[in-house]
Amino acid sequence: MLLALQAYTRTSSMEQNWSHLVSVSSFLLLLFLLSKFILRKTRPHKNLPPSPPSYPIIGHLHLIKEPVHRVLQQLSYKYGPIFALRFGSRPVLVISSPAAVEECFTKNDIIFANRPHLLTGKHIDYNYSSMSTAPYGPHWRNLRHFSTLEIFSTTKLNTFLSIRQEETRSLLKKLFRDSQQSFAKVEMKSRLSELSFNIIMRMVAGKRYFGAEVEDNEEARIFRGVVGEVFALGGASNPGDFLPLLQWIDFQGFEKRKKADRFYQGLIDERRNNKEGKNKTMIDGMLALQDTEPNYYPDNIIKGSISTILLAGTDTSAVTMEWALSLLVNNPKVLEKARAEIHSYVDQERFVDEPDLPKLHYLQSIINETLRLFPAAPLLVPHESSDDSRVGGFDVPRGTMLLVNAWAMHRDPAVWDDPTTFKPERFDGGENGEHKFVPFGMGRRRCPGAGLANRVVALALAAMIQCFECERVSEELVDMSEGVGLTMPKALPLEAMCRAREQMIRVLSDL
């Protein structure tokens, strides 16, 4: 019996082993068939763009270091102006040529009209409901229509003219106070930031939060904390954006940062309860829409719009002005030419004003050349493809994140003559092509605030050039290295020696 039991046990064990082998083989066969099916489904994407070697799971994330636009430029030297990367689970297309830009934002404009769903859009932009992050569709079109008519139209910008004039005069007053008798060293970054933030927030909520004219110092202190929080979150890259398994880890503290939301809500409630001065601010305009369509324009939509304008319309202008002034003090002949142009149209008995700006072509060329060399968004805001497409003859699968390296394209010797040299005259000669100069993006999602940004930057620069002599602190050129940040700030904030021009002292004294 013992021998029979041993024989039965061996037989049973063999049968179990055989059954296990059959199960494993069947599973492997199933995997093989599934992989063949998936490969067959993805076979249309044969001609994918060139790509560097990648690692499992993380893809090419190990290649990305600050400043990202320079890293991507170096990769383009090896792989061309159209190449593919993979950021963890996300396919990415990087382009840096006018032809590719034109193809993406003309022929394929609708396909690339979406934004990728990143965690910043969920937490800062109220679950992708703001104009900057909303999917392309009816909701986005309504927000875009509102912003075009009620915030950035010529008519609306003209109604905010007095704000820009007053804040520019305030800047001149502070500079004059510090440098009316002789040259004085002036730190420019903080002054330009105050100008930009006060203009935007007076448009948005009717209040200024910087300078001696602040009405509520405690509220201003809270606002400055909110600004730091929003910009830190807006410029942050969360690992969960590219590695979904990490989304449950709150790396950037998104869930803990509710200060901005409370502040925005306070601004809305204040304007809602304001019995005077209605229809004077951006919030008033959105509250009027809320009265007619309460379900479509809840408070979260208004808060998302405030956040978008704060992120897109403040630091960008301040950074552009700082780069422009740095270039001008490094190029005094250009500065003198710009001053001569202003004096040819504006006498020295008054300040230059916005109606003068269309005549100042050389000043506009200086601004354009600054945006070419130092775009406030060196990588345009990412897009995402909603369908399969082709770019430059390469297949681009649906769901690919598109990065446009504007910084690299603006400095490409195949596109620009002597690309690293500051030459405003190139814009007088028509060197700026429609698809090779894209500081504000292109296509349906081009920045709608370009007109406002140009007015703020042009008026402030013209006024400072008209009223002050500015020189370098030493014989050494101002350092033009880029720092790390969402809007590519200068690595070293600009300091310049400034003095009120004798011809303008009387006008400045009237301030």
Tell me how far apart the alpha carbons of residues 209 and 223 are, in angstroms, rounded to a whole number: 7
Long-range contacts (CB closer than 8 Å, 24 or more residues apart) made by 178-184? 178/498, 179/468, 179/498, 179/499, 179/500, 180/499, 180/500, 180/505, 180/508, 181/499, 182/499, 183/469, 183/471, 183/497, 183/498, 183/499, 184/497, 184/498, 184/499
CB-based contacts of 393: which residues, under 8 Å, 6+ apart?
Answer: 47
- Residue 195 parent element (H or E): helix 188-205
Task: Give the chain's largest Cα–Cα span.
Answer: 122
Contact status, residue 334 vs residue 422, Cβ threshold 8 Å: yes
- Amino acid 88 reads G
Tell me how far apart the alpha carbons of residues 156 and 282 are, in angstroms, rounded to a whole number: 10
Among 173, 172, 163, 174, smallest CA distance to 197 is for: 163
CB-based contacts of 490: which residues, under 8 Å, 6+ apart?
Answer: 189, 319, 322, 323, 326, 479, 480, 481, 482, 483
Beta strands in 65-134 (DSSP E): 82-87, 90-95
Q: Which two three-digit tokens encode residue 235?
A: 């410029």
What sign does the dihedral 100-405-89-84 (CA atoms) show? positive
Tell me how far apart the alpha carbons of residues 245 and 233 are, in angstroms, rounded to a whole number: 20
Tell me how far apart the alpha carbons of residues 274 and 71 are, in angstroms, rounded to a whole number: 50
Residue 467 in marked binding region:
no
Contact status, residue 117 vs residue 126, Cβ threshold 8 Å: no
User: Residue for token digits 């989304």?
Assistant: 247
User: Residue for token digits 């039965």?
Assistant: 8
- Residue 17 parent element (H or E): helix 2-41
At 118, phi and psi to the nearest 5? -105, 160
Q: Are strands 468-471 and 184-187 parallel, antiparallel or unpaired?
A: unpaired
- Binding site per annotation, positions for heme: 447
Per the annotation, where are the binding residues?
447
